[in-house]
Amino acid sequence: MRMHIKIFTAFVCLTALFSPALGLAEDEEMIKSIMDLRADVEALYTQIDENKEDYKAQMKSLSLQISDTEAQINRLETSIKLKEQDLQKIQGKIANKSTDNVELKPMLNDGFAMLEKSIREGLPFKVPERLAAVKKIKSDLKTETITDERALALLWSNYADNIRLTSEIGLFKQKINIDGENVLAQVAKVGTVMLFFSTPDNRVGYVTADGAGYTYKTVNSEKKREAIVALFDALNKQIRTGYFTIPNALVLTGGTR
């Protein structure tokens, strides 16, 4: 293609030199136009060559990236297989060790039942979360993810948490059912004997025992409302000791309104 351009240029130049109909100025203008066109064509060819080289470099880089990614995937797949084999070995060891401690099973089952009963019948404080923790231990024990000894240790830890709740005073958030509506409320827990609540729409009250369950009662008395609000303010300020006047909200007696 470039050879054709050179021949065409030479031909035009010769034609211009020997044509009597064209003046000298016109000849020079035509030659200049031809030379400009030739320069443009050469520049385009140069750009095409550069683009080809860039494309080749990009393709080479992408090819290397694909190869590296495939190698990483293969390494990960191998690692996963090795981890699965290690897990199977550990589960086998746990299963073998657990068979040597069959006498722990009845004690664990009794412990689970007693703890779950205590959580369900006790103060309605984060009951779903606490039951879920016990369920997780039972599930891990059933699938042999943990040994009987580990399950016993976790069970004892949950019992210890239950005991700790009896002396703990603080503010928490949990869902409560008030007037037939589930609401995410702030609750003030006083050990395991009183539980006050404050809702986002400024309803305050406390929990009372109601037969086999519990009821969240809203306080209407202005004096009692102020007392409960003062308790929440004090706990928000990390004040856990001092003299407080609060409504009788003992769950053992059911409280008064």
SS (H, E, C) the chain: CHHHHHHHHHHHHHHHHHCCCCCHHHHHHHHHHHHHHHHHHHHHHHHHHHHHHHHHHHHHHHHHHHHHHHHHHHHHHHHHHHHHHHHHHHHHHHHHHHHCCCCHHHHHHHHHHHHHHHHHHCCCCCHHHHHHHHHHHHHHHHCCCCCHHHHHHHHHHHHHHHHHHCCCEEEEEEEEEECCEEEEEEEEEECCCEEEEECCCCCEEEEEEECCEEEEEECCCHHHHHHHHHHHHHHHCCCCCCCCCCCCCCCCCCCCC
- Asked if residue 246 belongs to a domain, the reply is no
Whether 86 and 15 map to the same domain: the answer is: yes
43: containing domain: 1-99
- Asked if residue 242 belongs to a domain, the reply is no
- Asked if residue 27 belongs to a domain, the reply is yes
Whether 95 and 109 map to the same domain: the answer is: no
pTM summary value:
0.58
- Asked if residue 153 belongs to a domain, the reply is yes
* pLDDT by residue, tens only, the chain of 257 residues: 444 444 444 444 444 444 454 456 676 777 777 787 887 778 888 888 888 888 888 888 778 778 777 777 777 677 677 767 766 766 666 566 555 555 788 888 899 999 999 899 888 999 999 999 999 999 999 888 888 889 999 999 999 888 888 888 889 999 999 888 899 999 998 888 889 999 999 899 999 887 778 889 999 888 999 989 988 988 888 866 666 677 777 765 444 43
Domain stop point among 165, 183, 218: 165
